[in-house]
Amino acid sequence: MSQPLDPASVEQLTKELDSDPAFRLARNAVTTTPVDQVALDRDVVSGVDHSMSHLLDDWAATDQKKSGRCWLFAGTNLLRVGAAQRLSVKDFQFSQAHLLFWDKLEKANHWLESILATADRDVDDRTVAHLLSTPAEDGGQWNMFAALVRKHGLVPQRAMPETQSSSDTGAMNRSLSRLLRRAARDLRGLAADGADETQLQAAKSEILADVQRLLAVHLGTPPQMVTWQWRDTDREFHREGELTPQQFAERYAGVDLDEYVCLVHDPRPTSEPGRTYTVEHLGNVVGAPPVVYLNADIELLRRLSMESILAGEPVWFGCDTDRMSSVPLGVWDAHLYDYDTVYGTKLGLHGLDKAERLMHQDTLMTHAMLFTGVDVVDGAPTRWRVEN
């Protein structure tokens, strides 16, 4: 039976709190200072060491600014390591705006196909409602990055530089979302009226023409050819002439994206280790291999990441970055904040384990980055360098 909040119990607890010196100290501190500063564990901070036994990065950091393109930046940052070596230059960047344009256009097509596939369901169906809530997100996965590079190639950043909207995608995404939701209404209406596949695809093509125009307004038009020339670190000049984005990717990315596997650690009882998993309606390029995750033990992920760095290759990874991190200190540490002491209850490591956090919607992957260094002691990784 449901019970209302008991005023007498609230009053009693208030009296107990007022008589508790630890509570009064925490209240006085947190009402005048951000709680993360109060909870910051000074013992952990004083033990921070940024040195690494194995370090790869010797290049300028990139900046996604006010956008959700972390997965594209992490992907192009991984590929630029080999590109800089092949070009004999100290630093190099592929165009992130180029991939953003194609990702948005491909995602719009993928999303509209999902709308058509669910057109026979009620608009308040959970899947349809989810699709309508997220028509134009920036985020993505490794398989989606690989699909874009395979189909649309790569260009140097100077061939399609950043724009205001690539660096701050909010306004573009709002306009695109309105366009796509209107399109969903129209396509669902056509389907309800008995339109056949040919008619539905024709209507979708008209919608995609509007999407492409909107994206070109915000991001510019991707180049069909790149005239490529550069000067290397020895001051020697090189001229390659004209290359398509696909040719540029093949020549300078230098890796077979089909050889990469996305490993995850999902310890929930329902997620069997050694099996692959996917997410319905997640993707961008229709017809490309689906987004697939291979569930593996966390120690295997650590070992393979270490071995990759020791072999000279950074590692694309994603995690929940909203926990136990300090941007000013440049630190992630599971013990960085002592929330348990501040609040007098179990909020830190003593609250939920990883499986419980996943099951109760307390965590999810929020950001993609690169491992570019590792500190190895007695053959085991002890800490990691992250290019954010």
Q: What is the pLDDT of residues 304-336, one digit of tens each?
A: 999 999 999 999 999 999 889 999 999 999 999
Distances (CA, A) of 97 to 69, 74, 158, 173, 194: 9, 14, 10, 14, 39
Cβ(113)–Cβ(46) below 8 Å? no
pLDDT for 380: 97
Give domain status of residue 46, yes or no. no
* Residue 388 a catalytic site member: yes
Q: Is 97 a member of any domain?
A: yes
Number of structural domains the chain divides into: 1
pLDDT < 70 stretches in the chain = 348-350
Amino acid identity, residue 159?
A
Residues with Cβ within 8 Å of residue 120, at least 6 apart in sequence:
191
Q: How much of the chain, in percent, has pLDDT values that exceed 90?
A: 95
Q: What is the pLDDT of residues 57-111, one digit of tens each?
A: 878 889 899 999 999 999 999 999 999 999 999 999 999 999 999 999 999 999 9
- Averaged pLDDT score across all residues of the chain: 96
The predicted structure's pLDDT at residue 58? 78
Question: What are the angstrom distances between the C-alpha of 192 and each of 122, 180, 281, 300?
Answer: 11, 18, 21, 50
Active site residue 367: yes
Contact 365, 320 (CB under 8 A): yes
What CATH number has the domain bearing residue 192? 3.90.70.10
d(CA 25, CA 378): 43
Residue 128 counted as domain residue:
yes
Two tokens, residue 298: 């966390």
Q: Which of 70, 143, 218, 284 is catalytic?
A: 70
Pairing state between β 276-277 and 54-55: unpaired
Domain annotation covers residue 173: yes
Q: What is the pLDDT of residue 323?
A: 86
pLDDT in the model for residue 61: 85
Catalytic residue among 98, 110, 218, 367: 367
Radius of gyration of the chain (CA): 25
Degrees to nearest 5, angle at CA 135 with 68 and 195: 155
| pLDDT score, position 60 | 82
Q: How many CA atoms lie within 13 A of 73 on its CB side?
A: 24
What is the reported pLDDT for 350?
66
What predicted TM-score, i.e. pTM, was given to this entire model? 0.94
- Identify whether 42 is part of a domain: no
Q: What is the pLDDT of residue 348?
A: 66
In a domain, 352, yes or no: no
Contact 70, 368 (CB under 8 A): yes
pLDDT (0 to 100) of residue 26: 98
User: Does 217 fall in a domain?
Assistant: yes
**358 part of a folded domain:** no
Question: Helices 96-117 and 197-219 sit at what angle, rounded to 10 degrees?
Answer: 150
Range of the domain at 224: 54-320+365-387
d(CA 296, CA 116): 35
